[in-house]
Each structure stands twice: as structure tokens, then as C-alpha cells.
């Protein structure tokens, strides 16, 4: 198994904690489950999800690059 470290804004971290608390799991487990879901979707669904995420966060990605 590999380890991945990411940086996310504080407001996103807070939201991630809220959602994970609702499910009774850790934020890390919620992210792992979400990644698993994304990677097991059919290719078309995956592409649509990726495009949605990039379009939604385009300005953030520009500032971070």
C-alpha cells in the first residue's frame, strides 16, 4: 500500500471532518473510500467527475501552480 499526502484549505478540512463524523469514520477513511469510488467508476462517469472537479476548482488550481 502507498501513502499519499495532500494539502487542503482549512474550510475543506472542516467540511471533511463534518461529513466523516456523520458516517462515523475518520476523514482519511472517507477520502480513501471516495478515491476507491472514483477509480472503480466506468470510464465515462470518471471522466465527467474529473471534468466537474477541475472546472469547479479551476481558479484554485491556477493560484496553486
- In the chain, what are the domain boundaries? 27-65
**What average pLDDT does range 24-32 have in this prediction?**
93
Q: Please, what sign has the CA dihedral across residues 30, 36, 41, 44? A: positive
Kindly report the number of other CB atoms within 10 A of residue 41's CB atom: 14
Residue 50: what pLDDT? 80
Tell me the percentage of the chain whose pLDDT exceeds 90: 45
Tell me the percentage of the chain whose pLDDT exceeds 70: 86
> Which of 9-34 are b and which e, b meaning 16 or more Cβ less than 10 Å from the residue's Cβ?
eeeeeeebeeebeeeeeebeebeeee
**What's the predicted TM-score (pTM) here?**
0.62
Amino acid at each position: 500500500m502507498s501513502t499519499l499526502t495532500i494539502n487542503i484549505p482549512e474550510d475543506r478540512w472542516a467540511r471533511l471532518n463534518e461529513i466523516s463524523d456523520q458516517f462515523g469514520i475518520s476523514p482519511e477513511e472517507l477520502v480513501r473510500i471516495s478515491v476507491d469510488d472514483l477509480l472503480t467508476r466506468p470510464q465515462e462517469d470518471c471522466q465527467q467527475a474529473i471534468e466537474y472537479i477541475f472546472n469547479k476548482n479551476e481558479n484554485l488550481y491556477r493560484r496553486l501552480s
